[in-house]
Amino acid sequence: MRYPGLRLALFLFGCLLPAWWLYEAMSNQLGPDPGKVLVTRLGLGGLIYLLVGLCMSPLQRMTGWAGWIVVRRQIGLWSFAYILLHLLGYLVFMLGLDIGQLGVELRRRPYIIVGTLGFLGLLMLAVTSNRASQRRLGARWRSLHRLVYAVLGLGLLHFLWIVRSDLGEWTLYAGAGLAVMVMRIPAVWRRLPRFNRKKRNELK
């Protein structure tokens, strides 16, 4: 296994962050509506992991360092884990585990429908993220995992439909999403600056 320290650090960070939030909530540091704060943080956390995960291949291309791709799968799985917790938090803290109400929300609320679709996409990516699935799906694995772009779009739409009065924060995330997508346009991809080559030339 390459870069075990990096992987372990990422793993510990992924575990400790929600544990820290839970500790804050239980010691009354998150205000009068801690459930809502946790759900929001988990949702944003999942989106940030998704965006960071999508930066890995452009970064690898720009720097030539293999470590970026090594941690990509784990970052994607953390995005899935945080969104799963986001969903569970919504069920417990917002709906009070009222499954009948969940049925109503799933039929009536566009942002819930879009969020659920995004979660199902992440679920599909998570269960096919292992090597066995990669071997079994062969060439189809790559096309299946392009689903991540649709998940990003659904996630941003879900976020947009929650905004009440100020688009500032959303615009920041949507801008980041746009940037990682633009980098994938072939003409842009070819022109991404290559820092590693320059460095190597300097070393010669």
Question: Which pair of tokens denotes residue 87?
Answer: 């969903």
Return the number of the residue (9 or 97) whose C-beta is nearest another protein.
Answer: 97
Query: Can you give the C-alpha Rg of the chain in angstroms?
Result: 19
Rounded CA gap, 52 and 169, in Å?
17
* Residue 9 contacts another protein per CB under 8 A: no
- Binding another protein (rule: CB under 8 A), the pick from 25, 123, 124, 144 is 25
| Interface size with another protein, residues (CB under 8 A) | 29
Amino acid identity, position 69: I
Does 108 participate in binding another protein (rule CB under 8 A)?
yes
Does 33 participate in binding another protein (rule CB under 8 A)? Answer: yes
Q: Which is nearer to another protein, 150 or 172 (CB)?
A: 172
**Angle at CA 88, nearest 5°, toward 180 and 35?**
95
Alpha carbon 199 to chain centroid, angstroms: 31
Q: How far apart are CA 81 and CA 201, in angstroms?
A: 42
Q: Side chain identity at 104, as an amino acid letter? A: V
Q: Does 106 bind another protein (CB under 8 A)?
A: no
CA 73 – CA 58 distance, rounded (Å): 15
Q: According to the binding rule CB under 8 A, does residue 115 interact with another protein? A: no
Q: Which residues, 149 to 178, sit near another protein by CB under 8 A?
A: 161-169, 171
3 near another protein, judged by CB under 8 A: no
In the bound complex, what is the minimum distance in angstroms from residue 95's beta carbon to another protein?
9
CB of 70 to another protein, least distance (A): 36
Question: Residue holding tokens 């030539």?
Answer: 64
Hey, which residues between 53 and 82 contact another protein (CB under 8 A)?
none
Q: What is the DSSP string of 19-80?
A: HHHHHHHHTT-S-S-HHHHHHHHHHHHHHHHHHHHHHHHHHHHHH--THHHHTHHHHHHHHH
Binding another protein (rule: CB under 8 A), the pick from 109, 136, 198, 200 is: 109
| 17 scored as a contact of another protein (CB under 8 A) | no
Which residues contact another protein by CB under 8 A? 22, 25-26, 31-36, 38, 92-93, 96, 101, 104-105, 108-109, 111, 161-169, 171
